[in-house]
Amino acid sequence: MSARRISRWAGRTEAELRERWERPDVHLFGKVGSTNDQARRLAEEDAPAGTIVIGREQTGGRGREGRVWHSPPNSGVYLSMVFRPGELESPGLLPVLAGLGVVRALDLAFVGLGPALKWPNDIYAGERKCGGILAEASWSGGAPRQVIVGVGINAKPLPSSVPAAVRSAATSLEGEIGAQVDLAEVADAIVKGLEAFLREPTTALDHGALELVDHYDWLRDRRVSVLVDGAEAATAGVAVGIAPDGALLFRPDRGALRRIEKAAVVPETASSRKASG
């Protein structure tokens, strides 16, 4: 699908947004397959670091493991940014770094939201998901050519065109704070949050970042079931935190503490009350 440029998004022109965010390039699209794909195309054409792509609507939005991300028009912010790190020793840490920055920025920008990071790349408010992050790196000879980080945030309640099962599991910024939000202000928080930790990605979370992770960790002390790739059945236990390298720390009901780097993690129940002790 060929993406069409638009002159304004959230009432702002590309020039206004470039000045607002001090960007070299901001590209606005109406209907786009995926902002990450569009940002990657621009990056491969030598778009500079800091380039931002925004879509009013995504028809092929995706999350982790290729899962569908519903992106109806004018309901949310669908934004991708180009990064060009010199080195990338811990690519698995990228979603956590991005998520941590965005969650903190949203928390500061929208009083009463109470956002949290659900390992490794989901953004929650209360007990429901309101956003997600997808980080994708392109490599050349063992070095990163570019990293594209996309963020999707439900700013407004999802319309009835979105499947009921998705709507029941999701929430929005407006739904949580009980007031209208400006999409450009949501984008402000995303841009600020992404650059908080990704301008120079670290190999491990330092003490300050770990304290923030502990504060915003949605899974911490919750009973969950973990299904590791290749395993025949899920293992029940308690999520106890996030390690400095971004791995999930998981204590199964039987056995020693484990580090989980890639797995499906599901709270034991939909309401997912925190475990005691």
Domain with residue 22: its CATH number is: 3.30.930.10
In terms of domains, do 87 and 195 share one? yes
Residue 157 domain-assigned? yes
Residue 1 domain-assigned? no
In terms of domains, do 208 and 254 share one? no
Structural domain count of the chain: 2
Domain of residue 146: give its range: 8-216
Q: Domain containing 245 — which CATH number? A: 2.30.30
State the pLDDT at residue 41. 96
State the pLDDT at residue 163. 84
In terms of domains, do 106 and 186 share one? yes
In terms of domains, do 15 and 94 share one? yes
State the pLDDT at residue 224. 97
State the pLDDT at residue 159. 83
In terms of domains, do 154 and 246 share one? no
State the pLDDT at residue 258. 96
Cα 142 from Cα 270, distance rounded (Å): 42
Report whether 48 contacts 24 (CB < 8 A): yes
Contacts of 210 (CB under 8 A, 6+ apart): 242, 244
Intervals of the chain under pLDDT 50: 270-277
Q: If we measure between CA atoms, which residue out of 49, 43, 48, 6 comes closest to residue 28?
A: 6
Single pTM value for the model: 0.91
State the pLDDT at residue 274. 44
- In one-letter notation, the amino acid at residue 135 is A
State the pLDDT at residue 216. 98
In terms of domains, do 93 and 43 share one? yes
Q: Is 34 exposed, middle or buried (0-12, 13-18, 19+ CB in 10 A)?
A: buried
In terms of domains, do 153 and 240 share one? no
State the pLDDT at residue 270. 45
